């Protein structure tokens, strides 16, 4: 059995170098640029073009016509930046050990710092317009296509600084966010985890991507060994990681204070126009629903025949004799079948992109970023990075998840101009988890086998556990640590781990055995280095559960497809309200946790426990 290599199934457990991966298993980035030289030529054009923005300095507010000319110039500039950045990011994601890929990202970032400095006058000059003039300009037909972006910009007025101050922040942007590059290079390239023998007797390389594969092994000793080996490497770098994370938090707090926000959390939520009450409702609602979670852990312990349950025992399927070796092309079949309720057009576009359009970079290779993502630039395909493994059933769900992101982007691009197509992450996590919910419904409707039903229900339980309970724990951690920094408390390795340990005790309950190494988990979660992102997974799944139920019970896809088409034309909460979900209320979260409790009861009955 091979879980690393290409669809030819060749090769044992060795992770291939990038140049060893067959072309058909990689994404086709030639649609962005035919080669690196073409990227360099476009980069040179951007270098030559952007300084012309200085011609607008001091003139932004002189007329609606001048404002329109600036906005159109800025749009062309931003489209080119997005295009260049998209290619550079994807090339680095496919192999961060390649110096050319790192250099490409580096020179672009340096140029963007210069552009940020050179355009720092734009926002302050727009905000300097008095209200009457601003309203007159916005009402001018010349700016009809820019009304939404301009009104969104106007919200930033209390948090927009002078031109000189904005210039300084732009100059410091790269340095302020350098911790992310440090974390990525350390964890994706420098760290080495060695090899382990799996439960089939094969020696396989342990990596950030293959770690999940070891955690679903039936042999508890293999899971335990993988866990301890994995965290041993993180333990060797824990002081570096703690320093990196501490600086990340400090940067968040600095940026928030510089822009006159009361907290880093308020600053992060402001741009989506999401009140902090949504964040707090999520935490309080989840904390009020711990009992079904603890009941599930006890059920898992009994079914797996364990004396005590550890974190590394929470991913292996509880139903062990179900074959789950699913090759990539078969995964596409299953995903498309599950998404059939969304209609033929949706499924046709997604299937063509995955099967023939080379939207997806399928398998792990050395230097490749761990995890998965979907990413696009305007007018180009949505590319999906996978580290697909045939023996990890959740990877089928990951493909559906990233397909949700991709189709959200595809519909948005088809229906929105550049300035309103880019939707916020708060909405993105709805489209992705919606697809996962439909896939579960499909699997449950196409099997009468009690063991398979138990397997799928177990999978949905773990999905809600991982997306709502776990991400809410992460969200609460981010809230607490940022508040510590804002109060002037020291963020040290010990203090950061102490916070995380307290949350582990709360969220895993009294019957769970916590290995001390798990305290280091807070230093290895990539999203923590771009704070206040993870709560959107929990709210996204909660919204998706309600939206999927609406589609499945009524057969009406119009409101949901309308949501996909709306892109970033409205803020998240009114966008979801138009589709039929009120996320200002805790009800969607409670509804999802009620589903979790029902599924736990179903699983107890199916397994006779």
Query: Model confidence over 75-94: pLDDT tens digits?
Result: 999 999 999 999 999 999 99
Q: In this predicted structure, what is the pLDDT of residue 160? A: 87
Distance, in Å, from the CA atom of 415 to the CA atom of 489, rounded to the nearest integer, reads 48
pLDDT band at 449 (very low <50, low <70, confident <90, very high): confident
| Mean pLDDT taken over the chain | 92
The residue among 434, 460, 426 whose CA lies nearest residue 539 is 426
Q: In this predicted structure, what is the pLDDT of residue 10? A: 29
Q: In this predicted structure, what is the pLDDT of residue 188? A: 81
Q: In this predicted structure, what is the pLDDT of residue 548? A: 96
pLDDT band at 330 (very low <50, low <70, confident <90, very high): very high
428 or 71, which is more confident?
A: 71
Percentage of the chain modeled with pLDDT above 70: 97
Residue 15 has pLDDT above 90, yes or no: no
Q: In this predicted structure, what is the pLDDT of residue 405? A: 95
Q: In this predicted structure, what is the pLDDT of residue 37? A: 96
Q: Looking at residues 287-314, what average pLDDT do you find?
A: 97
Q: In this predicted structure, what is the pLDDT of residue 6? A: 26
Q: How far is CA 122 from the centre of its chain?
A: 30
pLDDT band at 1 (very low <50, low <70, confident <90, very high): very low
Q: In this predicted structure, what is the pLDDT of residue 4? A: 18
Percentage of the chain modeled with pLDDT above 90: 81
CATH classification code of 32-176: 1.20.140.70
Residue 231 has pLDDT above 50, yes or no: yes
Residue 609 has pLDDT above 80, yes or no: no
Check if the beta carbon of residue 432 is closer than 8 Å to that of residue 404: yes
Tens of pLDDT, residues 383-417: 999 999 998 888 999 999 999 999 999 999 999 99
Q: Looking at residues 497-519, what average pLDDT do you find?
A: 97
Residue 333 has pLDDT above 60, yes or no: yes
Q: Looking at residues 464-476, what average pLDDT do you find?
A: 97
Q: Looking at residues 328-338, what average pLDDT do you find?
A: 97
Distance, in Å, from the CA atom of 37 to the CA atom of 43, rounded to the nearest integer, reads 10
Q: Looking at residues 318-329, what average pLDDT do you find?
A: 84
For residues 307, 309, 315 and 317, what is the CA-based torsion angle, rounded to 10 degrees? 30
pLDDT band at 14 (very low <50, low <70, confident <90, very high): confident
- Candidates 125, 205, 402, 478; catalytic one: 402
pLDDT band at 501 (very low <50, low <70, confident <90, very high): very high
Q: In this predicted structure, what is the pLDDT of residue 453? A: 92
Distance, in Å, from the CA atom of 399 to the CA atom of 351, rounded to the nearest integer, reads 11
The residue among 595, 514, 565 whose CA lies nearest residue 231 is 514
pLDDT band at 374 (very low <50, low <70, confident <90, very high): very high
Distance, in Å, from the CA atom of 217 to the CA atom of 210, rounded to the nearest integer, reads 11
Residue ranges of domains in the chain:
32-176
Q: 402 an active-site residue?
A: yes
Distance, in Å, from the CA atom of 218 to the CA atom of 148, rounded to the nearest integer, reads 53
Task: Name the phi and psi angles at 497, rounded to 5.
Answer: -65, -35
Tens of pLDDT, residues 147-181: 999 999 999 999 988 888 888 888 888 888 888 88
Instruction: Please report which residue ranges of 3-63 form alpha helices under DSSP H.
Output: 36-49
Check if the beta carbon of residue 179 is closer than 8 Å to that of residue 251: yes
Residue 11 has pLDDT above 50, yes or no: no
304 Cβ neighbours under 8 A, 6+ residues apart: 220, 313, 316, 318
Instruction: Please report which residue ranges of 119-263 form alpha helices under DSSP H.
Output: 122-127, 131-139, 147-154, 163-176, 178-185, 211-215, 220-236, 238-258
pLDDT band at 185 (very low <50, low <70, confident <90, very high): confident
Distance, in Å, from the CA atom of 152 to the CA atom of 196, rounded to the nearest integer, reads 52
Q: In this predicted structure, what is the pLDDT of residue 371? A: 85
Q: In this predicted structure, what is the pLDDT of residue 431? A: 95
Check if the beta carbon of residue 216 is closer than 8 Å to that of residue 316: yes
pLDDT band at 13 (very low <50, low <70, confident <90, very high): low
Question: Token digits for 119?
Answer: 């355009």
């Amino acid at each position: 059995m091979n879980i690393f290599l290409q669809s030819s199934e060749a090769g044992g457990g060795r992770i291939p170098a990038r140049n060893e991966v067959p072309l058909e298993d990689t994404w086709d980035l030639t649609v962005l640029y035919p080669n690196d030289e073409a990227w360099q030529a476009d980069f040179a054009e951007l270098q030559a073009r952007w300084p012309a923005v200085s011609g607008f300095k001091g003139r932004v507010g002189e007329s609606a016509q001048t404002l329109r000319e600036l906005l159109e110039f800025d749009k062309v500039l931003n489209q080119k930046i997005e295009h260049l950045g998209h290619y550079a990011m994807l090339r680095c994601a496919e192999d961060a050990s390649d110096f050319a890929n790192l250099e490409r990202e580096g020179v672009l970032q340096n140029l963007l710092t210069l552009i940020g400095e050179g355009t720092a006058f734009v926002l302050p000059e727009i905000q300097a317009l008095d209200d009457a003039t601003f309203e007159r300009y916005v009402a001018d037909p010349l700016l009809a296509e820019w009304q939404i972006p301009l009104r969104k910009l106007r919200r930033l007025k209390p948090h927009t600084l002078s031109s000189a101050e904005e210039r300084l922040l732009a100059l410091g942007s790269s340095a302020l966010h350098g911790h992310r590059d440090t974390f990525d290079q350390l964890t994706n390239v420098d760290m080495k985890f060695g090899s382990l023998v799996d439960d089939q007797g094969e020696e396989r390389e342990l990596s950030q991507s293959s770690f999940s594969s070891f955690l679903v092994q039936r042999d508890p000793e293999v899971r335990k060994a993988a866990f301890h080996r994995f965290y041993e490497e993180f333990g060797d770098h824990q002081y570096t990681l703690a320093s990196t994370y501490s600086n990340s938090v400090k940067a968040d707090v600095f940026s928030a204070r510089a822009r006159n926000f009361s907290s880093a959390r308020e600053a992060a939520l402001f741009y989506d126009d999401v009140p902090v009450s949504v964040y707090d409702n999520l935490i309080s609602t989840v904390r009020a629903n711990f009992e079904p979670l603890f009941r599930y852990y006890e059920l898992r312990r009994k079914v797996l025949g364990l004396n005590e349950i550890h974190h590394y025992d929470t991913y292996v399927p509880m139903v062990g004799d179900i074959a789950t070796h699913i090759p990539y092309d078969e995964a596409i079949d299953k995903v498309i079948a599950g998404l059939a309720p969304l209609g033929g057009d949706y499924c046709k576009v997604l299937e063509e992109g995955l099967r023939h359009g080379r939207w997806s970079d399928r398998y792990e290779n050395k230097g490749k970023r761990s995890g998965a993502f979907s990413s696009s630039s305007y007018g180009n395909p949505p590319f999906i990075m996978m580290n697909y493994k045939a023996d990890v059933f959740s990877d089928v769900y990951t493909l559906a998840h990233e397909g949700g992101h991709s189709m959200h982007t595809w519909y948005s691009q088809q229906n929105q101009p550049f300035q309103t197509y880019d939707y916020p992450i708060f909405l993105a996590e709805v489209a992705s988890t919606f697809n996962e919910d439909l896939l579960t419904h499909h699997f449950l409707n196409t099997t009468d086998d009690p063991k398979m039903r138990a397997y799928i229900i177990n999978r949905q339980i773990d999905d809600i556990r991982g997306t709502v309970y776990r991400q809410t724990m992460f969200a609460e951690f981010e809230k607490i640590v940022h508040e510590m920094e804002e109060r002037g408390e020291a963020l040290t390795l010990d203090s950061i781990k102490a916070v995380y340990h307290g949350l582990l005790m709360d969220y895993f309950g009294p019957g769970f055995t916590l290995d001390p190494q798990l305290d280091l988990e807070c230093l290895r979660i990539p999203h923590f280095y771009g704070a206040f992102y993870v709560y959107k997974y929990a709210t996204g799944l909660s919204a998706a559960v309600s939206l999927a139920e609406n589609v499945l019970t009524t057969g009406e896809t119009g409101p949901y497809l309308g949501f996909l088409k709306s892109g970033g034309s409205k803020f998240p909460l009114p966008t979801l309200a138009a589709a039929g979900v009120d996320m200002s209320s805790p009800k969607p979260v409670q509804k999802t946790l009620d589903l979790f409790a029902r599924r736990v009861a179903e699983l107890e009955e199916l397994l006779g426990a």
